[in-house]
């Protein structure tokens, strides 16, 4: 496979950062040269362990995700029956969580756990970023920070979905969908904290805001808290859970949030640039891929034949 300029750049950077020696460089370049030109054939032919093959999330990120989602769901179940009190399900659900006297205590306690989880996350990100920068390993493309490339990737991916392209774009560790979701969740989290704080400390907000604006602020917060909660719950239920549980290739679930590992086929399909880095960082992955290319005769020469045979019936 001849790497695109972008992928080549990722490869060169990864080899430089990892101080890859000349022997390994030659090995990696040889291996990449042997990869089929059609990236799709690569992820279609690999063997993946359902619980994950390649490292993706550290234990900290997994703990933060766990804290956030457990608190988020419980917060939703204790909060929504109050906001939507006149709905048929509200009273039974409120009784189920112990009635108003219990649920409000649960809600406030878990809200502080959720805030802790957010602070833990921000602290961890800062720590890991500073540490990476000091080691010269920080790469903005590999981080969650959105770049122009994400907009281009989005467009190319949509073209692939509607059948106008035959390849998905080469995406990095975090693709456009994940960045969108991450920042939506971060924004939502802040909105919930801000609006929640305006319910628990209304006097504080009235005191710090200029007179005349406090009531408008409070009205906005009163609307924001349930609207944002409901939106978040719907996005989680209909989009996030679909993406990680129900989508083909992910069903019945991606184990990443527990094991921290991503399946090989998923990595190559949606995070190809990260896979290139995996090849540099993980000698065992090189070995695996090399064996696979041989066993399945996927290298370009063989690949041509495969394509021809595939084309014949058409």
Partner 1 sequence: MKHILFIASLLTLLFSNPAQAFEDDSGCLLCHKYPKMGRITEKGTKRIYQVMPGVFGSTVHRNVPCTDCHNYIKQLPHREVTEGVRCDSECHSIKNPATGKNFTHKPIYNKFKESVHGREKIETGLDADKPYCVTCHTNPIYNPAEDKLPENIVDRCVVCHEDRDFVVNWYKHTSRRIREVKRSPSEIVELCSNCHSDKALVERHVEAAKKEGRELGRKYPIAVESYDESFHGKVTRYGFTKAANCLDCHAKKKNYYMNVHDIRPSRDPESPVNPKNKVETCRNCHIYADEGYAQLDPHPTSSKEGNAFRYYANIIYGWVGDIVIVLLVGMALLETIGRRRDGVGWILRKGSSWWRKSKRNRDRIQ
Does 187 bind partner 1 (CB under 8 A)? Our answer is no
Decide if residue 242 touches partner 1 (CB under 8 A): yes
Let me know the angle formed at the C-alpha of 151 by 139 and 45, rounded to the nearest 5 degrees: 75
Q: How many CB atoms lie within 10 A of CB 121?
A: 19
> Which member of 66, 151, 190, 234 binds partner 1 (CB under 8 A)?
234
Whose tokens are 């080899």? That residue is: 15
Residue among 141, 178, 197, 218 that touches partner 1 (CB under 8 A): 218
Is residue 198 a contact partner of residue 221, using CB atoms and an 8 Å limit?
A: yes
Rg (CA), the chain: 24
Q: Is 104 in the site for partner 1 (CB under 8 A)?
A: yes
H/E stretch holding 26 reads helix 22-34
Nearer to partner 1, 142 or 261 (CB): 261
**Residues 261 and 282 sit within 8 Å (Cβ to Cβ):** no
Query: Quick one: which of 263, 268, 272, 276 contacts partner 1 (CB under 8 A)?
Result: 263
Q: Does 116 bind partner 1 (CB under 8 A)?
A: no
The terminus-to-terminus CA distance of the chain in angstroms comes to 25
Using CB under 8 A, pick the residue from 161, 182, 183, 187 that binds partner 1.
161
CA neighbor of 72 nearest in space, from 223, 230, 222, 201: 230
- Least spacing, CB of residue 74 vs partner 1, in Å: 18
Near partner 1 by CB under 8 A: residue from 145, 215, 283, 304: 215
Give the dihedral sign, CA 248/253/257/259: negative
Nearest-approach distance from CB 91 to partner 1, in angstroms: 8
Q: Supply 16's token pair.
A: 């430089």
219 binds partner 1 (CB under 8 A): yes
- Window 24 to 63, contacts with partner 1 (CB under 8 A): 38, 40-41, 43-50
Q: In this chain, which stretch among 23-31, 113-121, 134-142, 208-216 interacts with partner 1, using CB under 8 A?
A: 208-216
Q: Does 186 bind partner 1 (CB under 8 A)?
A: no
Provide the β-strand partners of residue 39.
none
Asked if 251 interacts with partner 1 (CB under 8 A), we say yes
Helix (H, G, I), strand (E, B) or coil at 262: strand
244 binds partner 1 (CB under 8 A): no
Alpha helix segments (H runs only) across 84-213? 90-96, 99-134, 148-161, 176-200, 202-208
DSSP state of 145: -
Binding residues (CB under 8 A) for partner 1: these are: 38, 40-41, 43-50, 82-83, 85, 94, 99-101, 104, 157-158, 160-163, 166, 177, 199, 202-204, 206-207, 209-212, 214-216, 218-220, 222-224, 227, 230-231, 234-235, 238-239, 242-243, 247-249, 251, 263, 265, 296-298, 306-307, 310-311, 314
């Amino acid at each position: 496979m001849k790497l695109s300029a972008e992928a080549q750049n990722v490869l060169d950077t990864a080899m430089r950062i990892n101080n890859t020696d000349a022997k390994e460089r030659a090995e990696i370049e040889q291996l990449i040269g042997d990869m089929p030109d059609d990236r799709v054939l690569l992820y279609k032919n690999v063997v993946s362990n359902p619980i994950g093959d390649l490292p993706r999330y550290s234990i900290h990120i997994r703990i933060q995700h766990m804290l956030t989602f457990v608190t988020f769901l419980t917060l939703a179940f204790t909060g929504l029956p109050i906001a939507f009190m006149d709905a048929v399900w509200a009273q039974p659900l409120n009784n189920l969580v112990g009635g108003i006297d219990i649920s409000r205590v649960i809600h406030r306690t878990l809200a502080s756990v959720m805030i802790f989880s957010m602070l833990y996350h921000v602290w961890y990100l800062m720590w890991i970023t500073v540490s990476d920068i000091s080691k010269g390993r920080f790469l903005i493309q590999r981080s969650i920070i959105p770049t122009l490339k994400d907009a281009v990737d989005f467009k190319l991916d949509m073209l692939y979905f509607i059948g106008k392209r035959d390849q998905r774009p080469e995406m990095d560790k975090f693709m456009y969908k994940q960045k969108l979701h991450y920042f939506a969740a971060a924004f939502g989290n802040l909105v919930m904290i801000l609006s929640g704080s305006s319910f628990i400390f209304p006097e504080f907000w009235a005191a710090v805001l200029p007179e005349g604006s406090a009531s408008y602020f409070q009205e906005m917060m009163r609307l924001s808290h349930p609207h944002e909660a409901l939106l978040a719950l719907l996005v989680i239920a209909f989009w996030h859970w679909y993406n990680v549980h129900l989508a083909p290739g992910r069903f019945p679930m991606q184990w990443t949030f527990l094991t921290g590992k991503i399946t090989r086929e998923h990595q190559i399909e949606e995070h190809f640039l990260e896979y290139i880095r995996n090849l540099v960082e993980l000698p065992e992955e090189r070995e695996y891929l090399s064996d696979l290319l041989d066993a399945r005769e996927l290298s370009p020469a063989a690949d041509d034949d495969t394509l021809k045979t595939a084309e014949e019936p058409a």
